[in-house]
Amino acid sequence: MPMHDESPRRLAPVGPESPALVVAEYLLKLRRSIAPPGSRRERLSRAIYVPIVNHLKARACRAAYGGTPRPVVVQWRGLSDRGRALPACPRILILKLDHIGDFIVALPAFEHLRAAWPNATLTLVCGSWNYSWAENIGLFDAVISFDFFTSTNAAWRGASAEQFMAFKALPLGSFDLAIDLRHDFDSRALLDHVDASFRAGFSAPPRQGGDSLDISLPDMEHISVAAGTGRPLQAGLRLRLLAFAVTAAFAPHAQHISRLTGSGSSRPPERRYAILAPGAGSPIRVWPLSRLMEVGRAVADHHGLDIIVTGSMAERDPAEAIVKGIPGGNVTNLAGTLPLADLPAIIAGACLYVGYDTGTTHLAAALDVPTVAILSGVPDLEVWYPVGKHVVVVAGRIACSPCYLKEATQCPYGVACLTAIKTEDVLAACDALLAEQITRNDGML
């Protein structure tokens, strides 16, 4: 099964028209309405609805694919990875088409975006009633007037096809990032007509602009206080949150995690080494041990690296198996013996880290260690992929993902999303990262 790059939009789960998934979604909404998160009622209901929902999802997959859905092995590229393509001085389009009060409450969000990208080219499209103010505040390089809404909210009767065509005809050009700073979703579909690498806004139905968003914040006005899911936010604050989310995803920021490497007493070995981490918090997320051994042998033989095995005391036995499975290699088992305070320094000194969906993988990625993360379809990859400058996520994608199961016995497909990942898939990622590291080091000489 060939491995290829995968972005989140190109891999669709079972369609929402599936009756089984409609029932599953209804059960989830019902649970949220009667059982606030963290409550005893929520824990009790979880024991009931999780098996039912997973059964319905499995049924929907079988119906959609005529049997067991086939997993696809991909090199997953999440938003943080794709966002590195954004230039240092990006071209950013901001839509703020609504009314005078909406414009005023958006001023802090405008200011935050300008402060984050002082050298960016910011273009604002706004209603004609706000045009002079937009020019006078001095935050934008260009201001374009376009009356999508009426001047007052009371006169608004909805957008016509002619208005969308008129917007599409505007001489906007192309952008690196487009943001719709309106909370209601009636203008979100305009982003579909913008030539932009990335799009951000509040959530919208899929066919009304929601499926084009790379960054999407939920409806913050019509949330349920009674169900314990939160409280509505002031209009300006929610716009600032969207601006913060955008800059957190794309704008350059300081890296402070390196401070952890000085917290312990251990220091990295002088010889070049790779780290293998055979454990994860849930057993269902653990790749077959024999394949991890094969990766260790190949890395030791082909790249001349020593091997260090890390983990908790629970991983002591699989770590010992790896030591025995790499005969002739210089392998050190630190599982269960390395103090947690010393772990960051050991990881930071590695030439390569190979692990699963677990905390040390996120640590290695954040420390900019060349990291190969082997992930199943159990979690939502867009939420839990590790972020770093030198990370390759090798993932098994399947239509029933994410399932959030904890035991392999719960999976009706034998955890095919994980077992589909072959040794050669992981070795290809290891070889690419090590070759990139050599090139990077040569460039520093």
Q: Are residues 137 and 226 in the same domain?
A: yes
Q: Are residues 266 and 397 in the same domain?
A: yes
What integer pLDDT is reported at residue 154 of this predicted model? 78
Q: Are residues 332 and 403 in the same domain?
A: yes
Confidence label for 46 from pLDDT (cuts 50, 70 and 90): low
Q: List strands edge to edge, sheet with 352-355.
A: 4-6, 72-76, 391-397, 371-375, 352-355, 273-276, 306-309, 331-333
Structural domain ending residue among the three candidates 205, 223, 250? 250
How far apart, in whole angstroms, are the C-alpha atoms of residue 400 and residue 412? 10
What integer pLDDT is reported at residue 407 of this predicted model? 86
Tell me the pLDDT tens digit for each residue of 109-130. Answer: 999 999 999 999 999 999 999 9
How far apart, in whole angstroms, are the C-alpha atoms of residue 303 and residue 288? 23
Confidence label for 209 from pLDDT (cuts 50, 70 and 90): confident
Q: Are residues 307 and 184 in the same domain?
A: no
What integer pLDDT is reported at residue 268 of this predicted model? 73
User: Does residue 132 carry a pLDDT above 80?
Assistant: yes
What integer pLDDT is reported at residue 105 of this predicted model? 97
Entry pTM = 0.80
Tell me the pLDDT tens digit for each residue of 50-64. Answer: 677 666 666 665 655
Q: Are residues 211 and 287 in the same domain?
A: no
Tell me the pLDDT tens digit for each residue of 321-357. Answer: 999 999 877 999 999 999 998 999 999 999 999 999 9
As a whole number, the mean pLDDT across the chain is 85
Q: Which domain holds residue 128?
A: 89-250
What integer pLDDT is reported at residue 413 of this predicted model? 85
Query: Which residues contact residue 309 at a Cβ distance below 8 angstroms, ignoring those fewer than 6 apart?
Result: 275, 276, 277, 278, 315, 319, 322, 323, 331, 332, 333, 334, 335
Q: What is the mean pLDDT of residues 209-234?
A: 82
Q: Are residues 201 and 266 in the same domain?
A: no
Q: What is the mean pLDDT of residues 201-222?
A: 90
- CA 249 to centroid of chain Cα atoms: 10
Q: Are residues 270 and 408 in the same domain?
A: yes
Q: Are residues 117 and 54 in the same domain?
A: no
Two tokens, residue 268: 């990295």
What integer pLDDT is reported at residue 49 of this predicted model? 64
Q: Are residues 150 and 175 in the same domain?
A: yes
Q: What is the mean pLDDT of residues 101-106?
A: 96
Confidence label for 33 from pLDDT (cuts 50, 70 and 90): low
Q: Are residues 55 and 126 in the same domain?
A: no
User: Does residue 77 carry a pLDDT above 50?
Assistant: yes
Q: What is the mean pLDDT of residues 259-265?
A: 66
Q: Are residues 294 and 196 in the same domain?
A: no
Provide, rounded to the nearest whole percent, the portion of the chain with pLDDT above 70.
Answer: 79
What integer pLDDT is reported at residue 442 of this predicted model? 64
What integer pLDDT is reported at residue 276 of this predicted model? 97
CATH number at residue 162: 3.40.50.2000
Tell me the pLDDT tens digit for each residue of 157-177. Answer: 788 889 999 999 999 999 999
Q: Are residues 245 and 263 in the same domain?
A: no
Q: What is the domain count for the chain?
A: 3
Two tokens, residue 139: 């935050």
Confidence label for 409 from pLDDT (cuts 50, 70 and 90): confident
Structural domain ending residue among the three candidates 14, 37, 67? 67
